[in-house]
A and B are shown apart, each in its own frame.
Chain A
């Protein structure tokens, strides 16, 4: 458990560095194509650093806002508050802020930068459909994410991956419109200039893919880990098994769930398409969550 916390903190630092590197590389590629020189690079470094800092302090707010989460009123949702308070006693954690999302699809996620600044959001669908024991199991899973610092890594990833995707989108579009001018100025090109341009172009395409893969690599194994440490809190595996079964049966999809926040949720909020044929392995690699069947199976073995 403690190794996981250290590894998560280390991972967060690595993530921030990778992010700054990718942003600088993208801007550099962009620069090579358009040509702004060193000043552009300085702006890029400042921008990347600023975004990373902002992501650390504010990414939980971003994630909550993106999913249209509203603070959960203790009067209106006494059960949610009671269950979380109980689990926090068991885990020795401070109580996180609680949010509710108006959505029929049962799902939940945790966010924040450390246990003292954590938030847990659940959909109304989850509150309606789960009984107390199942709700407890789901929330124990979320609190394990909080305790293990998974929230820090994954929430940082939300914000920063979003920025990278946005940036390269922007770069692509800029190239379609502004690229022509540069070609006129330099006249034909060829040699190192063209090579650099090609490299820049490759980077522009690769950046979002790399960012996505990074995001997926972060999330999958820790879902199973959080399942197991959640059960260590409730001491009752059948509770989580029942909850996951219910999530599996349910086909509704969270409306405000997007690919950017997918890895935060307990179950993937994006529709899972039946993957067949040659591209199945690719789909599996890009999935943010291990299949529910695998997770249920792992719990049965406890």
Chain B
């Protein structure tokens, strides 16, 4: 008797294959029986042996035999009795990890998509939370209110400020608030210690009460007391409190800094305190505080004074902002009438209305709408990223139906299968969430440089436990949502259908169609979301371009600008002499075309405001209140800034103290007050310290220019020649402008040294090209546009890739049908049409829904748009075209694949 077992084993070994022992035994028995049968048929012994050897050889050639026999005895082992909900989760996790390692591409795409979605959402949440919702960093911040004043509903020239009259009456007697504190931004001062070089430092003038209102405590030294501030509103800068940073920088953190004398703009000031490291008011740029009190309305010399400044109050416990508003307004009524100054500062001299608004709301009012729009956008983005992952999971689940069916067949309950899928998704969620948080942390590092410098509360933005909790929450939610769709399908797996699908039979189609339909729905939703985001982005981009292209009335190209703060005790003569010398020296520098100076610059400082009464030339019988922005400028100022003279003449060097007084007015002024023939009109008493020669003749009309944002309303303005102005305070800070032939920035050092050469104690700050100033002013709209465009591109990329996936899947599923169609005579173009029809249905449906949603949603954007309507037809037309293009591109490859389907391949 032959040893078939060793023959079979030897045959396998010759091919370096080692099957399981019982496979060898079974095959050996078959061989033995076959040998006996052949002998019984009459074959000779060697003949029969030969026949069996050939059989063995054929077995060896079939790789399936070499496979190990299934070791698990699952078919006979009853399912585990341990049915506690989460028993075996560890096993699930191990299994899931193994599965994912086998599909690195899938895992990568899912984790990347989730990371981007979660990272973006977390960052935006953190910014929104930090800026809009986080309590201010002072004790009991909900009791802090910002105080603002209007007169007959008219806003002051500096938005969100109050004036000295109501301030003094309210601080003298108050019942709803614990105190009112005010502050006013001053130009940076030159700080020098001992004989050191003066350097510009951002200083804030604050009332002694402000720190009390904030409940701030000094790190060392003391806070201000009432006596520190000059009661007449001037700023002698006798005492100064340093920020922690400045103290470290200039005094090395030595406690003996207290009582040291420093020079501020050449004036001796005593350091009385240092604030703690975390104290920043109103922002981190402010390095020191000096004591100040708003001037009384009635000055001792009988003149009327009006100042506008920012103010904050602390409500008494249990008092609402409305109650404080009522008290403030009532107290304001007893304030003395400031007369024409109120017209200058408020555009009207009606009774003052005081408003108390929660401090956070007031600080963040201008970024709130945009932040909320972006937050909504990022939520949409997260939804679409999640949907994309769910769609991928669905496709994968459809492919895994057999695996799931077998697991069900060997006793896994629907619950266990769902758990398996949820564990898998949780793993992906954890990985995606961790990557998303890492991305968010990286974004936070970059935020201070990415956010515009005037973005409020950047300090309050940070990754704290709330942000982490939020990120973990959305990661978990997203992954559970992603897992639910496929596990819902898994619950409905029909064993037979699923297993039969493995054969060549075209059954189970219904299930696949269900999956495909769900994916197509998700797809349409993603296109709709992309559509909404694209429309939003298009609107913001168009709005930004409109802002960029808007006519500001001046030409910002090739202009260098800087500010020089002039000490209060400089006479007007000294100021003009100094500025003339600097301008003269600058004109001699190669590349300089025009050097000029003035007291005003768009986007930096408006110069001054003035209210006066005049009789309009068209109707001299009435007297009107006029309020203007007042600019004191050198003759070349208009040319340096590129202002356009539309009528009359500009200033010349011959307009001096001895020549007739002339002014220029802007178009708004001329239209509003002077009528059709402005040139030659006479303007009385502008209070320019010219005694009885205070009459001015309009010599020219300048086209309107935009002082601030192009969205702000135009204001009447007057220009006065610096050489004809007598009051020193008309030019409290000087702006130097240089128009150059080429890039103006290299001149910065020259400008600085020329100023120092003339007046070594003065500091130059705000050195910037006019173009940079414009771009900085547009930083917020640009940021919003860039962020939303980024979201939209991401969403479109997801939708494009998703569409590609759905179509490829559907082409693969329908290859049999396509094969039959081709076999029956369909041409490739017919097949392409078949696929494109699907695209049209899915993308078209998504676009229609998306456009409708965008139409509704874009209304909420009206406050952040400029120069473009929320229902801008171009945006609403371009977006569908782009989306259709993307859809067609996504469809090209699957469609061609479908057209190339070989009926013989798919039908066999």
Partners in one complex: no
Q: Write the residues of chain B forming the contact surface with A, with a CB cutoff of 8 angstroms.
A: none
Interface residues of A (CB under 8 A from B): none
